[in-house]
Amino acid sequence: MAGEGSGGKRSSRAVDELVEILRSQLLSGQFNPGEAMPSEKELTRTLQVQRPTLRAAYARLEVEGLLVHRPGKGMQVRDHRENGTLPLLPHLDIDGHLHDIVELRRVVMAESAGRAAGRATFEDLADLAEHARKQGAPGDAEAFRAGDRAFMSRLVRTSGSLPLRMVFHSLDAWLQAHPGLHDRLLANRTTVLAGYTAIVNLVRSGDERMARSAVRLALDKTDAEALLAP
């Protein structure tokens, strides 16, 4: 495997590549939940990797909820639908989980707006307004996606909730992995730009309930239109 070094050394790249291979096999059902993984000797031979590389990959897949080490039984496969964690979210298949993940994004954004309305400082409001203003400048799709992610990131940060930020980071990674979907969600730029201004005003109002409700209703409408579009 590329990135493997001599003398049992491993590189970050080799571990990343191995994690991708094993994750794909686990998510595709090549190994069944409860099933024991092949022995380290077998896997290092078939995948042409060093044992330290395999063990480092296993450690990351355990964090994602795909594997678990059972004393005396070795590494066993877990059902990601029952045990998957946030780091796994960006790697889920878009077709099977699209609506659920977009729904989670709406929940995070609405809750962030509500919490932000209750704690935003003058500096926070100025920062949000500046990011909204920058989005109005001419730019290509890639720049607009980046600006949208930056604005939403500031909103979530203003909420003051670390758990919300953690969920947002996983959702953000998922959107980065599917730029075509992000473009669909941002297709109506006029509506999106108006939405930024509305969010800033809602946060400025200090009314948590209104901010949470209004953002949720607006995203329900725009996301439904985007997902129904060809």
SS3 68: strand
Local structure of residue 92 (DSSP, 8 states): S
Non-local CB neighbours of 102 within 8 Å, separated by 6+ positions: 185, 223, 227
pLDDT at 209 over 50: yes
Whether the domain at 12-83 and the domain at 86-228 fall into the same CATH topology: no
Question: Is residue 169 pLDDT above 80, yes or no?
Answer: yes
Q: Which region among 84-98, 116-130, 151-165, 191-205 has the lowest average model confidence (pLDDT)?
A: 84-98
Distance in angstroms (rounded) separating the CA atoms of residues 230 and 224: 12
- For residue 12, CA distances in Å to 17, 52, 65 come to 9, 11, 21
Q: Model-level pTM? A: 0.82
Average pLDDT of the segment spanning 154-169: 96
What's the CATH class of domain 86-228? mainly alpha
Per-residue confidence at 123, pLDDT binned at 50, 70, 90?
A: very high
Q: What pLDDT shows up at residue 5? A: 54
Of 155, 220, 148, the closest CA to residue 189 belongs to 148
- Reported confidence tier of residue 186, pLDDT bands at 50, 70, 90: very high
Band (1; pLDDT cuts 50, 70, 90):
low
C-alpha distances (whole Å) from 28 to each of 21, 105, 196 are 11, 25, 39
Over residues 6-50, the pLDDT tens digits come to: 444 447 899 999 999 999 999 999 999 999 999 999 999 999 999
Domain 12-83 class, CATH top level: mainly alpha
User: Mean pLDDT, the chain, as a whole number?
Assistant: 91
pLDDT digits (tens, 9 = 90+) for 58-117: 999 999 999 999 988 889 999 999 999 989 988 988 777 889 999 999 999 999 999 999
Q: What is each CA distance from 192 to 66, 204, 213, 226, in whole angstroms?
A: 37, 19, 17, 12
Strand ranges for 74-181 from DSSP E:
74-77
Q: Where are the domains of the chain?
A: 12-83, 86-228
